[in-house]
Amino acid sequence: MLLAAGVAGLLPAALALACAVGCAGVCASAFLFGTAIDLHRAERAFVSCRGAGIVGVGTVVAAATAAVPWWNPPDVTGWLTAGLTVAAGCYVAGISLLPGAARSWPVRLRRAFDGAGLGVSLGFAAYLVPGVSTRPAAVPAMLIATGGVSIVTVIVLRARPRPRPAIWCAAGSVLILLSLGVLTALIDAGADDWLLALTGVPIVAGMTAAAVGGSRRDLPPPVLEPRNPDQYLASYPLLAVPAAVGVLAAVWHLATVRSFDNKAIIFGLVMVSVLVVRELLVVRDIRRYAGRLRVAEAHFRSLVAGATDLTLVLDEQLTVRWQSPAAARLFGLRDDEVIGREFRELIHPEDVADAQAVIGSVLAGEHEGGPPVLVSARMRDGARLWRDTESTISDQRGVPEVAALVVHVRDVGERVHLERTLHRLSYLDQLTGLANRRALMRDLLAYRRRPGRRGNVIVIDLHGLAEINNARSREVGDAVLIEVSRRIKSLIGEQDVPARLAGDEFAVLTTESAVAAYALATRIVTVLGEPYQLPGGPVELQCSVGLAELAGGADSDEVLRHADLARQRARQLGLGRVEWYDTDVEIQLHRRMELEKQLLGAAGRGELDLVFQPVTGLRDGRPVGVEALLRWRHPELGTILPEEILPIASALGITAELDEWVLDEACRSLTAWDGGDTDFWLSVNVGPRELLTARFPDRVAGTLKRYGLTPERLVVEVAETWIAEDVPAIVAALTGLRKLGVRAALDDFGSGQTSLSHLRRLPVDMLKLSQSLVAGGPDSVLDVVVSLGRRLGLEIVAKGLESAEGIERAAAAGCRYGQGFALAHPAPAERIEAYLETHRTS
């Protein structure tokens, strides 16, 4: 409003200018001083605090300078020039201290010099304008204004980063300095008053801009970005344009005026001197920059040459444009073999498609801003060999100096080889070289996915390996395992998979049919049972084998579990057996486990019982003795026979306790039967372990004495199948019993491998023929056995007589006694006592 009044002549122009600029200066400086105080209190940037304060001082000085015409001292232009000089110095100092302007005083002084050179060039050009040189009082103000404006402009253009508040302050400073210079020139030229008032408009606008920049003090500190020297040098062509303007102005002046006055000559020399010094400084900067480039290039070459990665530069057509010097050392690749060729020519044909897909995504910008993309592929080296490599692809097309894809190739062959080795070892048994359980499960899964799912799993359990380790050392045991694996591999087909599941447990995954798989399992049992010739003497092993079909389980784990259950069942039934899995196998295993848990306390719970089967004369039918047979009266499962009890007792190691209980109960029952027949005898079955113990004869003698029985009434039966285990020891044990007066019987003769010649060595008194020999064998064989037995003085008992024809056949062969269902069924002691009373009186 005041300036408008001054322009319209309502107020004196000088007064209107002084009042308007003064008010604007007070407000602007207040904002700037407030910014400086807030920054100082917040301890954000002491330099920025001083910069805002100095800009505020320059605003106050500019306001005071604008009031000089209203004050009207004797030398108005001189006072205006002085005020302009102080204001320019304040603005230059303040702007150079704002954020992003410069970090050190040498840099600030260098930028001030660049700005001064620019100002001198522009001032010289303005001085040569016709009519300017005739106003000597305005020339200093013009030079100071152009110098200040040039310095401020250079400082702001060079600022990195360039905050918007600093730009606002710089723009306001430029407007104020130019307006003060124009004001001085107008007063010197005696211009109209309304022009003086009009110059106040840019001054007020400049103060407002400075205040706007100073009031934005709540902004976060700018993030400093790294600046390269080439960015610094890139501004020199722009700064040389005003200098060229000065030169062109001098040429134009010479062409039109054809002469220079002394002041112009001096002014021109100053300009040339400043430009020369400035160019010398530029050359110095260029040399320093070139030196730094040489050092950086040397560092780069040393890093690239000594790097463990090969670096390639590809254009957008994926043609190799450059490769690092490490190519020859790492991959044996010469430049002429790589540069100018397509990148895919270096990649294995099987990996080209995947590599090009990844590179295509990079070219499409799908990974822009993200980490380098990884490509795994085999690359050819200078020896035409394929190497496993990993390449990281970085898109540098946005960098003008590169404008390509940068590929860093690393040879990972050793790592890949190690990974493959570890992977192979994780599926391999280290001792035998067979597959381990993990590999077997993997192959099981693969086999089951095949159409038809035909195949079988064979699980093999070795018996006796622990004894070999204890007796001969673990090294011998390991040698046995290696030989076992060799024998298994020699039996199977090429597509079969042998595996070692545990210490003494093996398996074979075969694609054969069920019949062929069973035949293979049988051969495995036979071959593994052959002696192993090792240092220190041969060793022997037994094994149990279980089979299961691949299609019989829901998954691989269940198939292997089925085969293992079949193997356990085979072990329960005896050594050297092969068993198939079916649902009954699992039922029998569960039954076996339950019986094993309960058999230990069966005697204490009163669940064990004895039944007795009479032995009668085949001629008169009179009973001559009984055989005690063990029964387990299970409360839930019913009666359990010895065929099931004795294997469980042997596995639990309680056979001796059962034999002792049977002997005691049988002798007690024999004593309770009243008849006075001292020739009536009792037979009990004894296992080989119990028979061969040193205390067995003493136990027998103690039992007979406790019940008052004569030794001749007790017959100890030994199964023929046990004789072959250790004939000399059996002979010695039976001889010890005969010394007590106890008789011995060879049970089930004809069912085992005992030859007739053994009968001469064995101290037995009775020969009990097996049912197979009596009922199913040839008459000639039966006759020979009976004849030899009678010749040796043995009492012959035919077992398993279940029909009248069997009785007649045994009697015709010369058997004196018989035993079987056709003669009498096994019965408890009470019923046997009644049976004896009935048959003795008949």
DSSP assignment of 828-840, as one string?
A: -HHHHHHHHHHHH
pLDDT higher than threshold 60 for residue 227: no
pLDDT-derived band at 757 (thresholds 50, 70, 90) equals: low
In a domain, 258, yes or no: no
**Rounded CA gap, 17 and 6, in Å?**
7
Is the CA virtual torsion 293, 294, 299, 300 positive or negative? positive
Do 572 and 673 fall within a single domain?
no
How many distinct structural domains can be found in the chain? 4
**Rounded CA gap, 759 and 746, in Å?**
9
**Rounded CA gap, 488 and 490, in Å?**
5
In a domain, 292, yes or no: no
Q: Which residues pair with 626 in a beta bridge?
A: 614, 682
**Rounded CA gap, 782 and 788, in Å?**
10
**Rounded CA gap, 139 and 120, in Å?**
12
pLDDT-derived band at 543 (thresholds 50, 70, 90) equals: very high
Q: What is the pLDDT of residue 836?
A: 83
pLDDT higher than threshold 60 for residue 647: yes
pLDDT higher than threshold 70 for residue 162: no
Q: What is the pLDDT of residue 225?
A: 47
In a domain, 266, yes or no: no
pLDDT higher than threshold 70 for residue 237: no
Tokens standing for residue 622: 């009179």
Of the spans 34-43, 422-431, 487-496, which averages the highest pLDDT? 487-496
pLDDT higher than threshold 60 for residue 842: no
In a domain, 811, yes or no: yes
Least confidently predicted of 105-109, 705-709, 736-740, 795-799: 105-109
The closest of 33, 28, 144 to 83, measured between CA atoms, is 144
Residues 6+ apart with CB under 8 A from 451: none
Do 170 and 204 fall within a single domain?
yes
pLDDT higher than threshold 50 for residue 232: no
Do 560 and 647 fall within a single domain?
no
The closest of 540, 556, 538, 537 to 548, measured between CA atoms, is 556
Do 50 and 182 fall within a single domain?
yes
**Each residue's pLDDT tens digit, 696-737:** 888 899 999 998 889 999 999 988 776 666 678 888 888 888
Which stretch of DSSP H or E encloses residue 753? none
Do 824 and 695 fall within a single domain?
yes
| 17 against 358, higher pLDDT | 358
Mean pLDDT of 322-337: 83
Q: What is the dihedral of CA 621, 623, 624, 630, to 10 degrees?
A: 130
Do 401 and 469 fall within a single domain?
no
For residue 127, which amino acid is it?
Y
Do 407 and 432 fall within a single domain?
no
**Rounded CA gap, 504 and 502, in Å?**
6
**Rounded CA gap, 775 and 800, in Å?**
8
The closest of 670, 665, 759 to 713, measured between CA atoms, is 670
**Each residue's pLDDT tens digit, 455-480:** 899 999 999 888 888 888 888 889 99
What's the whole-model pTM score?
Answer: 0.48
**The domain spanning residue 346 has which CATH number?**
3.30.450.20
| 209 against 461, higher pLDDT | 461
Q: What is the pLDDT of residue 138?
A: 63
Q: What is the pLDDT of residue 136?
A: 60
**The domain spanning residue 719 has which CATH number?**
3.20.20.450
Mean pLDDT of 143-161: 76
Of the spans 179-188, 306-315, 720-729, 811-820, which averages the highest pLDDT? 811-820
Q: Kindly list the strands in the beta sheet with 405-411, ordered across the sheet, starting from the edge strand earlier in the chain.
A: 320-323, 309-314, 405-411, 386-395, 373-380
To 5 degrees, how large is the angle CA 163–CA 66–CA 77? 120
The closest of 1, 2, 23, 17 to 195, measured between CA atoms, is 17
Q: What is the pLDDT of residue 57?
A: 85
Q: What is the mean pLDDT of the chain?
A: 80
Q: What is the pLDDT of residue 731?
A: 85
pLDDT higher than threshold 60 for residue 201: yes
Q: What is the pLDDT of residue 235?
A: 47
Q: What is the pLDDT of residue 487?
A: 93
Q: Which residues pair with 406 in a beta bridge?
A: 313, 394
Instruction: Please say whether the beta carbons of 557 and 441 come within 8 A.
Output: yes
* Max CA distance (Å), the chain: 176
In a domain, 253, yes or no: no
pLDDT higher than threshold 80 for residue 3: no
pLDDT > 70 fraction of the chain, expressed in percent and rounded: 83
Plot region of 365 (φ>0 → left; ψ -120 to 50 → alpha; else → beta):
left
Residues 6+ apart with CB under 8 A from 433: 485
In a domain, 376, yes or no: yes
pLDDT-derived band at 429 (thresholds 50, 70, 90) equals: confident
Give the SS3 label for residue 320. strand
The stretches of 382-464 forming alpha helices (DSSP H) are 413-426, 437-448
In a domain, 609, yes or no: yes
Do 432 and 414 fall within a single domain?
no
Which phi and psi angles does 134 have, rounded to 5°? -80, -5
For residue 215, which amino acid is it?
S
**Each residue's pLDDT tens digit, 619-633:** 888 899 999 999 999
pLDDT higher than threshold 50 for residue 664: yes
Q: What is the pLDDT of residue 224?
A: 45
pLDDT higher than threshold 90 for residue 485: yes
Q: Which of 363, 395, 418 is the last residue of a domain?
A: 418
Do 746 and 775 fall within a single domain?
yes
The closest of 691, 724, 676 to 837, measured between CA atoms, is 676
pLDDT higher than threshold 60 for residue 572: yes
pLDDT-derived band at 183 (thresholds 50, 70, 90) equals: confident
Cβ-based burial of 205 (10 A; exposed 0-12, middle 13-18, buried ≥19): middle
Q: What is the pLDDT of residue 508?
A: 93
| 541 against 756, higher pLDDT | 541
Do 39 and 107 fall within a single domain?
yes
Q: What is the pLDDT of residue 131?
A: 53
Q: What is the pLDDT of residue 798?
A: 92
pLDDT-derived band at 614 (thresholds 50, 70, 90) equals: very high
**Each residue's pLDDT tens digit, 500-541:** 998 889 999 998 888 999 999 999 999 999 998 887 788 889
Least confidently predicted of 83-97, 112-126, 315-329: 112-126
Instruction: Please say whether the beta carbons of 559 and 581 come within 8 A.
Output: no
Beta-carbon neighbour count of residue 207 at 10 Å?
29
Give the SS3 label for residue 410. strand
Q: How far apart are the first and last CA of the chain?
A: 159
Residues 6+ apart with CB under 8 A from 70: 12, 14, 15, 17, 18
Which phi and psi angles does 690 have, rounded to 5°? -70, -40
In a domain, 271, yes or no: no
Do 126 and 95 fall within a single domain?
yes
The closest of 138, 133, 142, 118 to 266, measured between CA atoms, is 133
> Domain of 649?
602-841
Of the spans 284-298, 382-396, 585-599, 747-761, which averages the highest pLDDT? 382-396
Do 380 and 474 fall within a single domain?
no
Q: Which residues pair with 347 in a beta bridge?
A: 379
Strands 405-411 and 456-463: unpaired
Tokens standing for residue 745: 């019987």
pLDDT higher than threshold 70 for residue 218: no
Of the spans 14-23, 154-163, 222-231, 785-794, which averages the highest pLDDT? 785-794
**The domain spanning residue 469 has which CATH number?**
3.30.70.270
| 214 against 291, higher pLDDT | 291
Q: Which of 375, 398, 418 is the last residue of a domain?
A: 418
